[in-house]
Structures are given as C-alpha cells and as structure tokens.
Amino acid sequence: MKAFVVEKYGKDGARAAEVPEPPVGDRDVLVRVSAAGVNPLDKMVRNGEFKQLIKYKPPFVLGHDLAGVVTRVGSAVHGFAAGDEVYARPRDLRIGGFAEFIAIDMDDVAPKPASLTFQEAAAVPLVALAAWQVLVDRAHVKPGQKVLVHAGAGGLGSTAVQLAKHLGATVATTANTKTAELVRSLGADVVVDYTKEDFSKVLSGYDLVLDSVGGANLEKSLTVLKPGGLAVSVVGPPDAGFAKQVGAPFFLGPVMSGLSRRIRRQAKALGVRYQFFFMRADGSQLRKLGALYDSGKLRPVIDSTFPFDQTLEAMAYVEQGRTKAGKVVVSMTSGND
C-alpha cells in the first residue's frame, strides 16, 4: 500500500513509500483510510522531538488522526464490523493515518459522526480529544467560569472555544483581525486582536488558560489567572507528569521537571498553577464528542484539503504557518464523501 513514512528523523526525513498492509491483531480494527488530519504533532514526531520518550523505530508511517471504513476486524473485537464508518486518533507507537490502510486498537476507534463527511471527521479526533481532556478531565470547567483559549481560530483553539462555551464558561480568545468574526461565531465572548492589543493588559481573573503558543505568551498567560487558576500548555515546556504519562524511564521524570522549573516557579510566585498537556487516544471520549458534533454543539473548522499524494506538501503548509483557520486535511478522494 502507499504511505508516507519517516525514514529518518529530521525535516527531510519523510517520503512516500510502498509498505506492507499492516497486520491485524486480535483487538484490531483494519480501516481503509478516507481522509487524515495534518497536525503540528506530525512535524514534531518526524523531527524526533519525542524520540527519548516515545520510541518510534524508522521507518514508520506518520499521521495522528483519520476517518475511514472498517474492512476487517480481529477475533476479539466487538462493536465494529466491516463496512462501519469510523474515526480515530490511534495511540502513540501505533500512528499511521497517512496510508491507505491502518490497523487500530478497538479502544481507540469510534463511529464517525453521521453529520460529518470523512474529510470533516478526519479533522476532529486529535484536537477534539485534546480539548475534552483539558477542559473536562483536567480543569473540570463549570458554568460561569472564565476560560482563555489562545489562537482561537486554530485547529485546537477553534474546538476548545466551542467546547468551553458548551460547558457554560465565559470564553475569551486571541485572534487576528481576519479571524475575529470566525471565533465569535464559534462562541467566543471576548476576542482580543493580538495584532492590536496585549491580552495580558485587558484580561484578568481567569480560571483557566489553554496555551498553544508557548514562550512569552505562556508567561504572560499566568498573569491573567485568578489565584489558584491553571495554565495548561500543549507546546511545553514538559513536566514530570508527561514522562509518567508516556511511560518513560524513571530518570527522565526529574529531567522533564527541570525543563519546566522556571515556568512553575513563576506560576507559584503568582499563586497559580502550570501544567503541560499531551493528549491520549480514547475511543469512548470520541463517542461522546461525536454526539456533540451530530447535535450541532460542535462543528469542525477546515482550512484546506490536499489530495493524498500531496501529503508532504500539506505538512509543509502547516509547518510554514500558512494555515488561516482550522485544520488541514489530506483526502483519498476528490469529493466530500
């Protein structure tokens, strides 16, 4: 089958290749991929940024979320059958959405939301799971709380704005002039145009900040939190909890903790908290999220769709920061089936 693989770590390490169709284990669902999402995480994995923690062995197929049709199931699989339309974020070490077929553990798969096309559904799993796990599992967002989501027009941001609003929060976000109306339509109550204003000068008293920018933006985010508030970053720096989550050797825990010591000290001095976040695969959560998409509570935002044979161009498009709003998707078909 055709796939896009990481042959070696580094910017030029990915290429198109012919690889064997994946074997199907007892608990696996074999999916013919219809479309796959492109995420910044693909670039990070290709470049080897997590190679000490998540030990992929080149060559391996890239691609962290997808939608498609089940063609075969393992002997221990229940709840799925050939012909089912599904979507998934495969677990780490079993990624591979940039291929014609992928074998996925049944616990990571969910029925595709009926209201979404394959292309729309492929844009959803990683960012929707990340938004759910930050807002619901970690921050326990409740009605009336105040949530700041940075980069509200981005793939994660556009999903988190909608979910935070659905949970009853007052939602602020940062955006540029061109995307301000989009994020308002997604549910943002307060929109700070970062080309004109410094969010840290106009916002205060927030319960949660979801940061996908990092650096100085993260440091300033600490200052808009109320006492006891929480800043969660998906871009780092990592902490000891991340090392534990991915099952890294015990000695890497203190290393990760050291990387985030400065930002944690800044947070403590302000009476707030900092945590790094790395999402995990979860088919049961995708089922809950699918119901929200089908009910109209959430909607996918897609920037552009590339044909499958232009997957490397799609990755470059994302890597170069050319995305205007939402996700980039690669599609096996020319239509929106």
Higher-confidence residue of 7 and 241: namely: 7
Question: Quick one: pLDDT at residue 241?
Answer: 83
Q: Please check the confidence at residue 181 and state whether its pLDDT lies above 50.
A: yes
Question: Quick one: pLDDT at residue 334?
Answer: 57
Q: For residues 49-57, give the mean pLDDT.
A: 88
Q: Please check the confidence at residue 112 and state whether its pLDDT lies above 70.
A: yes
Give the separation between CA 72 and CA 240, rounded to whole angstroms: 39
Neighbours of 144 (CB within 10 A): 9
Q: Please check the confidence at residue 249 and state whether its pLDDT lies above 60.
A: yes
- Would you say domain 126-276 falls under CATH 3.40.50.1220? no
| CATH class belonging to 2-123+300-331 | alpha beta
Q: Cα angle vertex 42, ends 40, 44, to 5°? A: 75
Q: Please check the confidence at residue 333 and state whether its pLDDT lies above 90.
A: no
Q: For residues 303-308, give the mean pLDDT.
A: 98
What's the mean per-residue pLDDT of the chain?
Answer: 95
Q: Please check the confidence at residue 85 and state whether its pLDDT lies above 60.
A: yes
Question: Quick one: pLDDT at residue 171?
Answer: 98
C-alpha distances (whole Å) from 14 to each of 20, 50, 330 are 17, 16, 16
> Residue 297 class from Cβ within 10 Å (0-12 exposed, 13-18 middle, 19+ buried)?
middle
Q: Please check the confidence at residue 320 and state whether its pLDDT lies above 90.
A: yes
Residue type, 136: V
Chain segment 269-280, per-residue pLDDT in tens: 999 999 999 999
Q: Please check the confidence at residue 335 and state whether its pLDDT lies above 70.
A: no
Q: What is the DSSP string of 61-73?
A: E--SEEEEEEEEE
Q: What is the pTM (predicted TM-score) of this model?
A: 0.95
| Domains of the chain, residue spans | 2-123+300-331, 126-276
Q: 328, 63, 299, 38: which is closest to 158 by C-alpha?
A: 299
Question: Quick one: pLDDT at residue 245?
Answer: 81
Assign 318 a pLDDT band (cuts: 50, 70, 90): very high
Question: Quick one: pLDDT at residue 253?
Answer: 81
Q: For residues 113-133, give the mean pLDDT.
A: 98
Question: Quick one: pLDDT at residue 336?
Answer: 46
Chain segment 153-177, per-residue pLDDT in tens: 999 999 999 999 999 999 999 999 9
C-alpha distances (whole Å) from 8 to each of 20, 108, 186, 315 are 18, 27, 40, 16
